[in-house]
Amino acid sequence: MDSSANASATSPEGFIAPLCSVFRRFLKSKGLKFTPERAAVLDVVTSFDGVFEADNLQEGLKASGLAVGMATVYRTLRHLVDAGILSEVLIDAKQNHYRLSYGQPPVGYLVCIESGQVIEFPAPELLAIRDRICRENGLTALSSRLVVYASTGKQTSPPPREVDPASTPRRKKSTSTTTTSRSGRKS
């Protein structure tokens, strides 16, 4: 649930010019170019209503007759998030989800863990809570999000916990039983 300074633009047409300018400035500040492929990705992103995945974006590009590789799509999505145009929505551990957040009111997400259904809901009071908590701690909010995971109660056991093996630290097994004390003596 990210917010932005340009909340006055309300129509999709009203977003395109400011978003393009914001994105161009961001890319320039990073020494990157605003390429036709990045422009195409931005154009398709503005056509989505709500949460989408990179695959949805790729399909939208293909439907528009544009050939943009998935590597370019993922890099451009990262740039759009870093520029504050998109926000990542943490719905599940399997797939990144995105939402156009620039100039949009704050929202939260309700995710049913049985069906995977995602319900977007307005959450204007969250900005006040976020800002108050930051102010009390001497910080400035950069972004915020709320995702509520819920259950219908019809599931008999909890869903299996997903663990990303790449993020799990592994300990080396000691191959020696020799230890060294603080005094430097081996035992």
Q: How many CB atoms lie within 10 A of CB 32?
A: 13
For 138-173, write each residue's pLDDT tens digit.
998 877 778 888 988 875 555 555 544 444 444 344
Instruction: Give the pLDDT of residue 16.
Output: 53
> Tokens standing for 141?
């909010």
Angstrom distance (rounded) from CA 86 to CA 49: 12
Angstrom distance (rounded) from CA 73 to CA 171: 36
Residues 6+ apart with CB under 8 A from 136: none
Degrees (nearest 5) of the Cα angle 63, 86, 57?
15
Degrees (nearest 5) of the Cα angle 107, 101, 94?
80
For 104-123, write each residue's pLDDT tens digit.
777 888 888 888 888 888 88
Residue 27 identity: L
Instruction: Give the pLDDT of residue 90.
Output: 76
Instruction: Give the pLDDT of residue 165.
Output: 46
What torsion do the CA atoms of 89, 91, 92, 97 make, to the nearest 10 degrees? -40
Instruction: Give the pLDDT of residue 148.
Output: 85
- Answer CATH for 12-154 from 1.10.540.10, 1.10.10.10, 3.30.56.10, 3.40.50.620: 1.10.10.10
Residue 25 identity: R
Q: Which of 51, 43, 50 is nearest to 15 (CA)?
A: 43
Instruction: Give the pLDDT of residue 17.
Output: 58
Give every residue of the chain whose pLDDT is below 50, as ranges: 1-14, 163-183, 187
Instruction: Give the pLDDT of residue 170.
Output: 43
Model pTM?
0.61
Q: Which of 85, 57, 96 is nearest to 73 (CA)?
A: 57
Which one-letter DSSP state was computed for residue 166? G
Domain coordinates of the chain in residue numbers? 12-154
Strands, sheet with 118-122, edge to edge from the N-terminal-most edge strand: 118-122, 107-112, 147-150
Which residues pair with residue 86 across a beta bridge? 100
CB-based contact 107:120 (threshold 8 Å): yes
